[in-house]
Structure 1
Amino acid sequence: MTTPILDLPFGERPDPDEFIRAAMAWHFHPDTGSEFWLQRAKTLDFDPRTDIRTWDDLGLFPNVTDELRDVPAPQLIPRGYGTKPDVAGIIESGGTTGAPKCLPLLYDYANRMVQRDMYQFEQYGIQHGKNWLSITPSGPHGAFEEVRRSAREWGSLVFTVDMDPRWVKKQMSAGNAAEAGAYAEHILDQATYAFRLQNIGYLRLTPPVLARIAGREELVDNVNQNVDVITWGGASMDADSRDFYRRELFPNVNIVAGFGTTMALGSCAAERLGVDSDDAILDPTIDPYSTFQVRSPDTGEVVEYGERGQLVVHHVSKSFLLPNNAERDSVIRHAPSRLDQLGDSIGGIAPLDAFKGVEVIEGVY
């Protein structure tokens, strides 16, 4: 009983309010909703099918993100996908603030993100005919799943260096900085082999890894000789470091910030190109499916443009629903870049000092 507006291809933008109403009808109908949301709806003091009419109404939902730590992944798949849902994979959160959450990523949404990536890569100037290197978490995390699908569509080979961010954060939390540092150097040793042989033109990594690349002359030379584009995310980068990489160390490489979260099923924002600012400004790239608000962590109210607050992410798609998710990130609120953009643009991404009483440790991701 799905409606066509939930299945529009990338590039066809739905009417936001009509889209929200169709999504509520889908996720909260007993024949199509997931086990989790059908049961959780019984505890709400409103009816999503009648009371959630616009994007602004998503704020009525409680933040249920922590509850997902204890939910079996099958209970998050909408029944409307049938008894054999087309699942691309199970992705897990990084476990920065507690036990990881396991989310099903269905192929219809995964393919939507691939088409979004194709558009973004054209804007970045990623060349066909060169290979990619992804120095990001694989295993249960969504980062590698996304880049592998996109490389296949682009026609490139993607080489990978595995990364276990949970191990690094565990060592740093225990005060074992030397062991965490040795692990990071181990990551770079593996990347060196790919740079030497594999014609790497696109590099995908985190700021802590880029900082260590900057300390190895051979790798700096490799990047400057062959890499056209670097995209970074997963951790923060201060304005001085960003300026140094862009203007001094890698002046001919397009270095672009991105933001993603497992709780929105992957990448959902990218740096606004053509803007000369000290800090990267990021716009949502897949709205109305994933959108942002920047709120005061104390009052819950949306802050003014230019002010810092806590990032709140709404995800609404046919395959998954998670509105009102307060992330572990502190960001600066920016005005949208498009008249039809839903929600905020963001900048100045940095970790909160603590999130729900747990110290936030970035590590390598």
Structure 2
Amino acid sequence: MSHHADPVLDCPVDQIPDAQELIEAAMRWHFDPKTGSSFWLERAKDLDFDPRRDVHTFADLRLFPNVVNDLRDVRVEDLIPKGYGPRPGIVGVYESGGTTGAPKRVIILTDWMDRLMAHHLRNMDARGEPRDVNWLSLGPSGPHVFGELTAWQARLRGGVRFTVDLDPRWVKKCIRDGLTEEADRYAEHLIDQAAFVLETQDVGVMATTPPLLVRLTRREDLVALINEKVQLILWAGAHMDADTRRLLRTEVFPGVRLRGTYASTMILGGTTERVGLTDDDPWIFDPFSPYISFSIVDPETGEDVAYGERGQVVMNHVSKNMLLPNNLERDMATRVEPLPGQLGDSVADVSPVAVFDNEVVIEGVY
């Protein structure tokens, strides 16, 4: 628990604070010399506005510069708000994919993870998703938050988690260097390991990435095992197009629930697929508002596009743990009207931009 409790920032995990109250409380916390992080207190000196005085609303978050590139080399200790005291309760340090140069790092604290997990568990229960079953996580661990999130979810829902480790950076490197055969061999090696788990263990939930899921479907024996054992497939990491989704849902895994997540290390978590979508609806993701929020903007002007139009995703994270506003992500999406009471936009049909920070974006298997 912090030394400077704030009723808004420290509200119970089953409560959702008012958006404006959260933003104002976060500004007080992150920009008070007693409670803020060294990272933000240092940057505050160069801002041409006073966050505590001038930032109240979702629109006001656009006053901030995009600081994510500073996360490539900042000491992670400097990211922890001083208000947490000497024992802040660290879950871990997580890195971005490293697709476009040196990876960016964030640090996740226990109070944020508890809040995020309470949100995910509420959503899973609302959908009637299984409890007390084992999970297979076929995806990255190590510096990537994917593995950490599946570990917490499996444990909190009463299951054992089996893991197959993936190094997405190696695959991207192989693809970038034209070594497609080597990337292929590595991906098959991952599928082989998943096969051993599926053949010998009870697995009720499988978490993986779309490219690996598609690769799994090439093996009829594994498709049969998944249809027999698995109740829910969660995918995240890379993108999935509508045709692939329809085929997987209706023909390949007709008896298994398929659910997508749109996540980013830079929002310290993920979003959830909107409840009640049919096979023909676009895949809509709603953020964990007001802590995580999106805008969909014209990459040239930075202005919001119209609902139904495509633009580039701007992400915000506002919590006690971290403030990361106004981050232009390497994704394009369709702007969708938010759910009632939600901060910012929802997104649909997410796909990567072709070039970001002057680097060609390679998706690989994550």
TM range (shorter): over 0.9
* Aligned counterparts of 2:347 and 2:45: Cα–Cα separation in 1: 34
Q: For 1:75-224, list aligned pairs within 5 A.
A: 75-224=78-227
Deviation at 1:21, TM superposition (A): 0.6
Q: Which residue of 2 aligns with 1:252?
A: 255
User: Quick one: which amino acid aligns to residue 126 of structure 1?
Assistant: E
* Aligned counterparts of 2:276 and 2:9: Cα–Cα separation in 1: 32
* Aligned counterparts of 1:191 and 1:122: Cα–Cα separation in 2: 27
User: Quick one: which amino acid aligns to residue 160 of structure 1?
Assistant: T
**Are 1:133 and 1:158, in contact at CA under 8 Å, matched by a contact in 2?**
yes
Is 1:9 matched with 2:15?
Answer: no
User: Quick one: which amino acid aligns to residue 64 of structure 2?
Assistant: F
Deviation at 1:278, TM superposition (A): 4.2
Query: Cα deviation per residue 1:67-99 (whole Å; 9 max; x = unaligned)?
Result: 111101100000001122110111111101110
* Aligned counterparts of 1:123 and 1:172: Cα–Cα separation in 2: 40
Give the SS at the match of 2:9. helix
Give the SS at the match of 2:326. strand
Deviation at 1:103, TM superposition (A): 1.3
User: Quick one: which amino acid aligns to residue 362 of structure 1?
Assistant: E
* Aligned counterparts of 1:346 and 1:31: Cα–Cα separation in 2: 37
Is 1:35 matched with 2:33?
Answer: no
Q: 1:124 to 1:167 in 2, by over 3 A?
A: farther
**Are 2:132 and 2:157, in contact at CA under 8 Å, matched by a contact in 1?**
no
User: Quick one: which amino acid aligns to residue 314 of structure 1?
Assistant: N
- TM-score, structure 2 normalization: 0.97
* Aligned counterparts of 1:128 and 1:60: Cα–Cα separation in 2: 43
**Are 1:126 and 1:201, in contact at CA under 8 Å, matched by a contact in 2?**
no
Give the SS at the match of 2:140. coil
Q: 2:293 aligns with which of 291, 298, 306?
A: 291
Any stretches of 5+ residues in structure 2 without a counterpart?
none
**Are 2:89 and 2:109, in contact at CA under 8 Å, matched by a contact in 1?**
yes
Query: Cα deviation per residue 1:225-274 (whole Å; 9 max; x = unaligned)?
Result: 0111111111111111110001111111110111110011122x111121
Query: Cα deviation per residue 1:303-353 (whole Å; 9 max; x = unaligned)?
Result: 0111111011100000101000111111111111x2101111101111100
Bigger Cα displacement from structure 2, 183-192 vs 12-21? 12-21
* Aligned counterparts of 2:225 and 2:88: Cα–Cα separation in 1: 43
Query: Cα deviation per residue 1:96-117 (whole Å; 9 max; x = unaligned)?
Result: 1110112111000011111112
User: Quick one: which amino acid aligns to residue 83 of structure 1?
Assistant: P
User: Quick one: which amino acid aligns to residue 41 of structure 1?
Assistant: A
User: Quick one: which amino acid aligns to residue 282 of structure 1?
Assistant: F
Q: 2:337 aligns with which of 335, 338, 343?
A: 335
**Are 2:136 and 2:162, in contact at CA under 8 Å, matched by a contact in 1?**
yes
Q: Which residue of 1 aligns with 2:303?
A: 301
Deviation at 1:120, TM superposition (A): 2.1
**Are 1:206 and 1:235, in contact at CA under 8 Å, matched by a contact in 2?**
yes
User: Quick one: which amino acid aligns to residue 326 of structure 1?
Assistant: L
Q: Which residue of 1 aligns with 2:363?
A: 362
* Aligned counterparts of 1:221 and 1:13: Cα–Cα separation in 2: 42
Any stretches of 5+ residues in structure 1 without a counterpart?
none
User: Quick one: which amino acid aligns to residue 51 of structure 1?
Assistant: D
Q: After TM superposition, where is structure 1 displaced by more than 4 Å over at least 4 residues in a row?
A: none
Q: Which residue of 2 aligns with 1:352?
A: 353
Deviation at 1:57, TM superposition (A): 0.4
Give the SS at the match of 1:200. coil
* Aligned counterparts of 2:85 and 2:131: Cα–Cα separation in 1: 38
Q: Which residue of 2 aligns with 1:271?
A: 273
Give the SS at the match of 1:26. helix
Q: 2:237 aligns with which of 221, 227, 234?
A: 234
Deviation at 1:127, TM superposition (A): 2.1
**Are 1:331 and 1:346, in contact at CA under 8 Å, matched by a contact in 2?**
yes
Aligned length in residues: 362
* Aligned counterparts of 2:16 and 2:59: Cα–Cα separation in 1: 18
Deviation at 1:2, TM superposition (A): 3.5
Q: Which residue of 2 aligns with 1:63?
A: 66
